[in-house]
């Protein structure tokens, strides 16, 4: 029995680096692909948004003299590179995946529409929704909130290297305590970092719960969709 029938999985580009300094770590990529395939085999409909921080971030371009809009466009293209890598890895693991892009990029990926994603789900495809929102000054956190709401996902799963939301940064503060569950209001008032505020507000306003969990431990995605209590659930 699965707890969620339709999910939006957000993977950060940075997590895809593993312990490398740049780019795509193939062990992590294949581990993600394997976990995604296992969950797809349970019949779960999976939309995925991947970041691009392992390749390029618009803001870091600005500090090197790039125009912000151009830098952001480079960042959005970086998410397409990661999406193609994940598609390829899912197919390599024996699964089916399609890449949809926020802006026209055929034949790299099909132009995103909600209808095409839902049709893909019916045919058993995982939908990797690339290119962010298509607009500068946004993040892939916001893109994942937007796509999650659009495709009517039951939950936004934020797969990271940390196993949930803590009272403080657990890598810096030994006394940091993990929340099993917290409301959007409490998380906002405590200034906890769940996602950036644009994404956070979008989820809260549209009643899309966020579950933050450690995706780098194989088997965790399966645990989440089958209802095992791991990570932190943020809800209204
Ligand atoms: N980006 C953008 N609009 C979007 C999504 C992303 O301009 O809707 C750009 C932005 O420059 C961002 C980069 O793409 O820095 C990579 O995305 P993000 O930083 O969210 O990746 P992550 O931190 O998840 O690896």
- DSSP H or E segment with residue 49: strand 45-50
- Higher-confidence residue of 1 and 11: namely 11
Is the pLDDT confidence value at 54 over 90?
A: yes
Q: Is the pLDDT of residue 78 over 90?
A: yes
Q: Is residue 1 part of a domain?
A: no
Residue 132, ligand 1, Cβ within 6 A: yes
The verdict on residue 191 lying in a domain is: yes
- Give per-residue pLDDT as tens, 162-190: 899 999 888 888 899 999 999 999 999 99
| Residues contacting 119, CB < 8 A, separation 6+ | none
Residue 101 covered by a domain: yes
Q: Does ligand 1 come within 6 angstroms of the Cβ of 154?
A: no
Please report the atom of ligand 1 found closest to the CA of residue 140.
20
pLDDT higher than threshold 90 for residue 1: no
- 105 within some domain: yes
State whether the beta carbon of 72 lies less than 6 angstroms from ligand 1.
yes
Residue nearest to atom 15 of ligand 1 (CA): 57
Average of per-residue pLDDT across 112-137: 98
61 lies in a domain?
yes
Which residue shows structure tokens 């962010």?
132
Spatial contact of 176 and 231, defined as CB atoms under 8 Å apart: no
Radius of gyration of the chain (CA): 17
Residue 122: phi and psi, rounded to 5, are: -60, -35
For residue 224, the tally of other CB atoms under 10 A from its CB is 26
Let me know: does 76 contact 135? Beta carbons within 8 Å: no
- Mean pLDDT of the 144-163 span: 96
Say what percent of the chain tops pLDDT 90: 89
Expressed as residue numbers, the domain containing 156 is: 6-235
Ligand 1 centroid–CA 131 distance in Å is 9
Under 8 Å CB-to-CB from 40, ≥6 apart: which residues?
46, 95, 96, 124, 126
- Total structural domains in the chain? 1
- 187-222 pLDDT tens trace: 999 999 899 999 999 999 999 999 999 999 999 999
Residue 100 clears pLDDT 90, i.e. is over it: yes
Kindly give the distance from the C-alpha atom of residue 140 to the centroid of ligand 1, in angstroms, as a whole number.
Answer: 5
C-alpha distances in Å from residue 122, one per residue of 110, 125, 137: 17, 7, 33
The answer to the question of residue 169 being in a domain is yes
Which pair of structure tokens corresponds to residue 149?
A: 């709401």
pLDDT of 74 > 90? The answer is: yes
For all residues of the chain together, what is the average pLDDT? 95
The residue-averaged pLDDT of 153-169 equals 93
Kindly state if the Cβ of 23 falls inside 6 Å of ligand 1. no
* Structure token pair of residue 117: 């994603």
Is 28's pLDDT higher than 90? Answer: yes
Q: Which atom of ligand 1 is nearest to the CA of 73?
A: 7
Q: What is the mean pLDDT of residues 119-124?
A: 98
Residue 62, pLDDT > 90, answer no
In order, the DSSP letters of 186-206 are: HHHHTT--SS-HHHHHHHHHT
Distance CA 226, CA 101 (A): 29
Whichever domain contains 93, its CATH number is 3.40.1160.10
Q: How far is the CA of 181 from the centre of ligand 1 (A)?
A: 27
């Amino acid at each position: 029995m699965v707890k969620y029938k339709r999910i939006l999985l957000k993977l950060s580009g940075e997590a895809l680096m593993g312990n490398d300094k740049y780019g795509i770590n193939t062990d992590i990529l294949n581990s993600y692909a394997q976990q995604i395939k296992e969950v797809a085999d349970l019949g779960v409909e999976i939309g995925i948004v991947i970041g691009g921080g392992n390749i390029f971030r618009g803001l870091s371009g600005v500090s090197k003299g790039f125009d912000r809009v151009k830098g952001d466009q480079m960042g959005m293209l970086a998410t397409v590179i990661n999406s193609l890598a994940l598609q390829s890895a899912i197919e390599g693991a024996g699964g089916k995946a399609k890449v949809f892009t926020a802006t026209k990029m055929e034949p790299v990926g099909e132009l995103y529409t909600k209808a095409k994603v839902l049709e893909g789900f019916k045919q058993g495809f995982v939908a990797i929704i690339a290119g962010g929102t298509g607009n500068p000054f946004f993040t892939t956190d916001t893109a994942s909130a937007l796509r999650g709401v659009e495709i009517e996902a039951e939950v936004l799963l934020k797969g990271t290297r940390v196993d949930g939301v803590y009272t403080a940064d657990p890598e810096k503060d030994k006394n940091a305590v993990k929340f099993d569950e917290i409301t959007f209001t409490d998380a906002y008032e405590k200034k906890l970092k769940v996602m950036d505020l644009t994404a956070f507000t979008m989820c809260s306003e549209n009643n899309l719960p966020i579950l933050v969990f450690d995706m780098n431990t194989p088997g965790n995605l399966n645990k989440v969709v089958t209802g095992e209590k791991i990570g932190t659930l943020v809800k209204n």
